[in-house]
Structure 1
Amino acid sequence: MDDVVVPDRVQRLLRERVVAALPVLERRAASEADRAGRRAAAVTMTLLPVPGATGEGPLADEVAFVLTRRARSLRAHSGQWALPGGRIDTGETPEQAGRREVAEEVGLALGPDTVLGLLDDYPTRSGYVITPVVLWGGGAGSPAPNPDEVGELHLPALSEIDHAPRFLTIPESDAPVIQVPLFDRYVHAPTGAVLHQFREVVLHGRPTRVAHLEQPVFAWR
């Protein structure tokens, strides 16, 4: 995706619309109990304008986001759908970690002013508390994936995730497993949970919670 075709004025309009939508969610941080034994991590909803956007059409059609499939060579969760992100280093905030990971994984250098807000923390079965950071990536050039970390790079419009998720029951848990339809497949939590909450909050103005939603058993490791 090449954002040079989108004027700065239009990018400001789109960014302002996202910023205006986020306060419907009173963000929840993870409890001390949820943090016990888990490491802190950040993931990002890195937003980009769709080429040809006017700033006046449906937000779902005019804004895209950065989605990857993890490289097959990675030891953990290889080949799974992911949003750019990783562990929060000592002394970092989630916002700083998110911006660093976006630079390392997809080559977008984003300053502090690109941070639009945070979504709810999500405790994972694999031992992390994930803080989702919403970033505006327009104007930073085109993403350039790092092959050591990224197997595939996708830039779907938000309309691609504007569908009702599917919820499954599994014998290993009382909580429902969320599946977000995308590309004729399904994205599971934690990525699917973040996508679902972003969709609910930004596209529909609903302060939907997702921290209780379950991951599939294959993602528990």
Structure 2
Amino acid sequence: MTDPLVSLPAFREAAAERLGAFAHTTVPDSPGSRRAGVVLCVVEHEGVPSVILIKRAYRGRNAGQWGLPGGRMDEGETPEEAALRELREELGLAVGPAEVLGRLDDFPAASGFSITPVVAAPSDPGPLRPSPDEVHSVHHVSLARLAADDTPRWVPQIDGGHLLQMRLRPDWVVHAPTGAMLWQFREVVLLGREARVADFLQPDWTRN
């Protein structure tokens, strides 16, 4: 069997099987809660399957932070519909519902949003057309880099907990919520392991 870390068709097959067997958790609605959908969008980049990561524009909510394409759900939308709509609005990529392979756990962000990550691997999403109003820069992280042993680092905290850092490059360090969703994607989809992330620590600056 071809390695799903280096072949997009093999990734699609493995991801669909693993996500199909994964019982994702959903954060229940509550007064004042807000919902969002994001996409772990896997495309071929420089010959290998890679996840699209963005740095948000230096304005508005989450200014300058690492993130996955996505955003707030509109009334009547499902998380998948919101995630794919935001992917199109932010990056110009056209991904259909049939190219969604599954979803991971809702993440209860400190900002008050419940974020639903969906996994998609489009065959022909079209060219990237980032919206300058929402996206400062676009980056690709290979699946092999995400799966590498030295990518996650757990930093001890004064209170005894540990803060996850996803070290994608020496100068690319991603924390929860985005880091938590990348870590669960790595564990469940790439490595085939059970993993939950709802209780992961989040830096104070992610509350904005």
1:25 to 11, 22, 40: 22
Q: Tell me how far apart the structure 2 counterparts of residues 11 and 190 of structure 1 sit (CA, whole Å).
A: 26
1:55 counterpart residue number: none
1:106 aligns with 2:91: yes
Q: Where does 1:174-185 land on structure 2 (aligned, <5 Å)?
A: 175-184=161-170, 185=172
2:3 counterpart residue number: none
The answer to whether the 8 A contact 1:14-1:49 is kept is no
Offset of 1:209 from its aligned partner? 0.5
3-state SS in 1 of match to 2:141: coil
1:157 aligns with 2:142: yes
Q: Tell me how far apart the structure 2 counterparts of residues 118 and 110 of structure 1 sit (CA, whole Å).
A: 15
CA separation of 1:136 and 1:16: change in aligned 2, threshold 3 A: same
Moved more, 43-52 or 192-201: 43-52
**Structure 1: gaps of 5 or more residues:** 1-9, 53-61
3-state SS in 2 of match to 1:97: helix
The answer to whether the 8 A contact 1:200-1:206 is kept is yes
The answer to whether the 8 A contact 1:175-1:212 is kept is no
1:65 counterpart residue number: 51
2:112 counterpart residue number: 127
Q: Which amino acid aligns with 2:117?
A: P
Offset of 1:186 from its aligned partner? 1.4
Q: Where does 1:20-59 land on structure 2 (aligned, <5 Å)?
A: 20-32=17-29, 35-52=30-47
CA separation of 1:91 and 1:84: change in aligned 2, threshold 3 A: same
3-state SS in 2 of match to 1:101: helix
Q: Which amino acid aligns with 2:83?
A: G
Q: Could you say what the CA RMSD is over the residues aligned between the two structures, in angstroms?
A: 1.9
**Structure 2: gaps of 5 or more residues:** 1-6
Offset of 1:191 from its aligned partner? 0.3
Q: Tell me how far apart the structure 1 counterparts of residues 68 and 8 of structure 2 sit (CA, whole Å).
A: 22
3-state SS in 1 of match to 2:181: helix
TM-score (norm 2): 0.88
Q: Which amino acid aligns with 1:206?
A: R
1:78 to 52, 63, 67: 63
Q: Tell me how far apart the structure 2 counterparts of residues 88 and 174 of structure 1 sit (CA, whole Å).
A: 35
Q: Tell me how far apart the structure 1 counterparts of residues 178 and 169 of structure 2 sit (CA, whole Å).
A: 15
Cα displacement string for residues 155-203 of structure 1 (whole angstroms, at most 9, x for unaligned residues)? 22112222452223445x7753211111213100000000000000111
Cα displacement string for residues 66-100 of structure 1 (whole angstroms, at most 9, x for unaligned residues)? 1000011x222111100001001000000100110
CA separation of 1:153 and 1:63: change in aligned 2, threshold 3 A: same
Q: Which amino acid aligns with 1:99?
A: L
State the aligned residue count.
199
CA separation of 1:168 and 1:13: change in aligned 2, threshold 3 A: closer
Bigger proportion of residues as helix:
1
Q: Tell me how far apart the structure 2 counterparts of residues 174 and 114 of structure 1 sit (CA, whole Å).
A: 41
3-state SS in 1 of match to 2:119: strand
